[in-house]
Amino acid sequence: MKKTRQANLELLRLLAMVFVVTAHLMNHGNLIGAAKRGTASYYLVWTLFGVSFTCINLYLLISSYFLTESRFSLWKLVKLAVQVLFYALGITAIYWIFTDVPHDLEYLVYSILPISSDFYWFVSMYVGMYVLAPVMNKLILALTKRQLACACALALALVSVWPNIFYFSSALNTAGGVSISWFLTIYLCGAYIRLYYQPDGKFLKWFLPAVGTSLLIPLSRFVIEALLSSPFGAISFLDDLMWGYSVFYVYSSILVTAASIFLFLAFLNLRIAPGRGAGLINRIAGASFGVYLIHDHYYIRESLWTKIDGAAWLGHWYLPFACMGVIAAIYLVCTAIELLRQKLFAPFEKSTAIAGFFQKADDKLKKIWNGD
């Protein structure tokens, strides 16, 4: 029986991908790089950029929430790999045939092996997390509620709180959350929520703290800038506070993590009645991963953001509207392409023969796992 998607979490998945596109527009679109400090545009683009950092954690929380009580499926992994290969190699082939981009053999190899070559860093990390999910679930289910809570607290303390407090040290560095250790840490949090949190329908109870904490992310940067401009700025190691975009502008920061969890809990408590609206949300959100794979392909990223000069909008009243328009356009075009791909691949993905083959493979893996 086909599982029904939860429209509330699918809406959150959709929002998370909007955040992904927003972050890429702010960064690759040269908005944060060109904005002059002290201007209204500066504070707007850095606020949008900061809030959008919750995107990765939101995806991981949604995934771990469902993976905690689901079986490992080789077929799901294969379908994911096929989707990634389709865009990685397909877009590369289109650019090689119809444009004058250099035909770099090394890049072609990366396109053919997109997961193992880290073509899309998130995909490589996600596959690692998915493969380790059965092991994680075994360990998680062996723990009591208190033990799992302690495990979550300890993991967050080591790879989130510690790097933010002792920001001048490279110890326990998780590359800002771009690491398997961070993905598994969020997996623990998602598992705890799945097993021990019961939604009560109080959306605002969690949404308001989510908004407040999200706004603390950009505020932290503005405070650090003010601190470095004060006499305290003479303290040399305080410069490390601005590592990258700042110590709090990373996926594993305290503020980003808290905002992500609050937002996840808010949408977990959001009630969306079944119907056409819920169906539309599920349909659009089901194409969200394709939005990422398309617009963040290396060739598209290079050509897209050279044509979209976000710096030209700075200082103008239409800046927020231009941002919203570009984000919506990218999302809608990529969604349309992914929905078309899904339709083309439907016979393959719904094939009982192929699914049966991988089901047998799953059964063999289960026997190996159980020592049979």
**111 in Cβ contact with 119 (< 8 Å):** yes
pLDDT higher than threshold 60 for residue 1: no
Indicate whether this model's pTM tops 0.85. yes
Domain contains 120: yes
**56 in Cβ contact with 17 (< 8 Å):** no
Instruction: Report how far residue 284's alpha carbon sits from residue 11's, in angstroms, rounded to the nearest whole number.
Output: 9
Domains contained in the chain, number: 1
Give the residue from 291, 304, 258, 271 showing the smallest Cα distance to 30.
304
Give the residue from 131, 190, 184 showing the smallest Cα distance to 160.
184
Give the residue from 34, 93, 91 showing the smallest Cα distance to 314.
34
- Local structure of residue 157 (DSSP, 8 states): I
Beta strand residue intervals within 48-89, DSSP E? none
Domain contains 1: no
Domain contains 189: yes
pLDDT higher than threshold 80 for residue 170: no
What's the chain's Rg over C-alpha atoms? 22
Residues 6+ away with beta carbon under 8 Å from 210: 259, 262, 263, 265, 266
pLDDT band, very low/low/confident/very high, at 230 (cuts 50, 70, 90): confident
**338 in Cβ contact with 294 (< 8 Å):** yes
Give the residue from 189, 209, 205 showing the smallest Cα distance to 197.
189
The pLDDT assigned to 171 comes to: 65
At 177-186, the pLDDT tens digits run 889 999 999 9
At 312-337, the pLDDT tens digits run 999 999 999 999 999 999 999 999 99
Per the structure, the complete domain to which residue 180 belongs is given by 7-370
Q: Is the dihedral of CA 360, 361, 367, 369 positive or negative?
A: negative
At 38-50, the pLDDT tens digits run 999 999 999 999 9
Domain contains 53: yes
Tokens of 93: 């082939």
pLDDT higher than threshold 60 for residue 361: yes
Alpha-helix residue ranges (DSSP H) falling in 144-268: 145-156, 162-165, 180-196, 203-229, 254-268
Domain contains 2: no
Domain contains 266: yes
Mean predicted confidence (pLDDT) in 30-35? 94
